Amino acid sequence: MEVYEKLNEILKTKGLSKKEFALRLIAKDVKLKNTGEVPSEKVIYAYLSGRISLRIELIPTIVEILNISEQELFDDSQGKRIKLLHHILRNPSEQEYQTASLLLRQKNQTENYSFPEDYQLSRIQELISFAPLRTVEKMISILERYKSMFEEFEKEGI
């Protein structure tokens, strides 16, 4: 799917007319690098019809107007979303970490369900290949400590 097609699909999903989108984009006063001017409504319609290619300098403003990620404008397939998430979680900033933690806590509180144990084990097996070796070694160490504690509790009848 071409970017202009994806953009039109997003506009439709958001219930935003092309005219309203064009007016919002113009109101943001983003100047094109090649002309130094704000694109006209006619030029924006040309972007939306695919007659001319969307200028890259408009993308941050477009995603802001539509309240989407830049990735969604190009490809929001499940595989690409997971790849993007993996990229962010590999080395998250403190703000990204805090936001993800908060969102996951909220989701867990509203859904409040648990997966069967075999699902959890298969998910771990599926995802472990993405973890750095150091992380895997640390996980093994922690799990071995839990195992030792569990065995001690069993010996003491706790």
Residue where the block lists tokens 């939306």: 48
Instruction: Tell which CATH classification among 1.10.10, 1.10.3470, 1.10.260, 3.40.50 matches the domain 3-76.
Output: 1.10.260
Phi, psi of 12, rounded to the nearest 5 degrees: -65, -45
Please tell me the predicted confidence (pLDDT) of residue 109: 65
Q: How confident is the prediction along the chain (158 residues), in pLDDT tens digits per residue?
A: 789 999 999 999 999 999 999 999 999 999 999 899 999 999 999 999 999 999 999 999 999 999 988 888 887 778 877 887 888 888 888 888 888 888 887 776 665 555 556 667 778 887 888 888 888 889 889 888 888 888 887 787 76
Question: How many Å from the N-terminal Cα to the C-terminal Cα in the chain?
Answer: 60
At residue 110, the pLDDT reads 60
| Residues 39, 58 contacting (CB under 8 angstroms) | yes
pLDDT of residue 7: 94
What tokens were used for 69? 């990620």
Per domain, the residue ranges of the chain are 3-76, 77-113, 115-158
Closest listed residue to residue 14, CA positions, set 56, 62, 75, 82: 62
| Structural contact between residues 43 and 52, judged by C-beta atoms closer than 8 angstroms | yes
Is the Cβ–Cβ distance between 76 and 1 less than 8 Å?
no
The pLDDT of residue 11 is 95
